[in-house]
Structure 1
Amino acid sequence: MLISTNDFRTGMTIELDGDLYKIINYEHTKPGKGGAFIQTELKNLDTGSTTTKRFRSGEKVNKAYIETKPYQYLYRSGEDFVFMDKETYEQINLNEETLGEAIKYLKENEELELKLYEEEVIGVNIPSSVELAVADAPPAIKGNTISGGSKVVTLETGAEVKVPLFIEAGDILKIDTRTDEYIERV
Structure 2
Amino acid sequence: MQMNVTSVRVGNILEIDNGLWRVMKATHVTPGKGVACMQLEMRNVETGTKTNKRFNSSERVERAVLSQRDMQYLYADGDDYHFMDMETYDQITLNSEILEDALAYLLPEMMVQVEFHEDRPLNVKLPQTVVLEVIECDAALKGQTATSSYKPGRLETGASIMVPPYLESGTRVKVNTETGEFVERA
* TM-score range normalised by the length of the shorter chain: 0.7 to 0.9
Q: Determine if the alignment matches structure 1 residue 8 to structure 2 residue 10.
A: no
1:115-152 residue CA offsets vs partner (Å, 9 max, x unmatched): 1111111111112221111122232244666xx54221
Unaligned runs of 5+ in 2: 29-36
Structure 2 CA distance for aligned equivalents of residues 14 and 149 of structure 1: 38
Aligned twin of 1:50: 52
Match of 2:120 in 1: 120
TM-score, length-scaled by structure 2: 0.73
Equivalent-residue separation in structure 1 for 2:164 and 2:71 (angstroms): 34
1:83 aligns with 2:78: no
Query: What letter corresponds to residue 178 of structure 2 in structure 1?
Result: R
Identity of aligned residues (%): 33
Task: Tell me the secondary structure at the aligned position of residue 102 of structure 1.
Answer: helix
1:136 aligns with 2:136: yes
TM-score (normalizing by structure 1): 0.73
Contact map agreement 2:3 2:62 (CA 8 A) in 1: no
How has the CA–CA distance of structure 1 residues 108 and 18 changed in structure 2, closer, same or farther, with 3 Å as cutoff? same
Residues 62 and 156 of structure 1, relative CA distance in 2, 3 Å threshold: closer
CA distance in 2, matches of 1:49, 1:181: 27
SS of aligned partner of 1:157 = coil
Whole-angstrom CA distance in 2 between matches of 1:94 and 1:107: 15
Name the amino acid aligned to 2:3.
F
CA 142–62 in structure 1, closer or farther in 2 if over 3 Å, else same: closer
CA shift, 1:45, in A, is 5.1
Which of structure 1's runs of 4+ aligned residues deviate more than 4 A?
Answer: 22-26, 39-42
Q: Secondary structure at the match of 2:82?
A: strand
1:8 partner SS: strand
Q: Does 1:157 align with 2:157?
A: yes
- 1:173: how far off? 0.5
Cα deviation for residue 21 of structure 1 reads 3.6
Per-residue deviation, 1:13: 4.6
Q: Find the counterpart in structure 2 of residue 95 from structure 1.
A: 95
